[in-house]
Structure 1
């Protein structure tokens, strides 16, 4: 996995955690769900990159 991709995916995951926390604190279910989706997307991208690295 390239370093830049890894950083982007981790940033997306951390951004999602922040959105989820703000959504939870402000009782905004839409923002909380968006944060959870961002986290899942970041994690999925990281897993995909790891699989690609295995087959190189």
Structure 2
């Protein structure tokens, strides 16, 4: 996993957490769901990159 990918995934995860927090604060269920989806997407990407790294070694 390149450093750039790690940074992008971390940024997407943080964005998702922020979106979820805003959704909870404003009682906006769609924002909460959007934030969780962004976090899930980042997690899936990270897992995929970890698998690729495992097969490189």
Unmatched segments (≥5 aa) in structure 2: none
After the TM superposition, which segments of 4 or more aligned residues of structure 1 sit over 6 Å from their partners? none
Uncovered stretches (5+) of structure 1, i.e. residues with no partner: none
Looking at structure 2, the residues matched to 26 and 15 of structure 1 have their Cα atoms a distance apart, in angstroms, of 16
Please name the residue that 1:31 is paired with.
31
* CA-atom RMSD in angstroms: 0.4
Which residue pairs with 2:22 in the alignment? 22
Count of aligned pairs between the two proteins: 56
Q: Distance in 2 between matches of 1:26 and 1:10?
A: 24
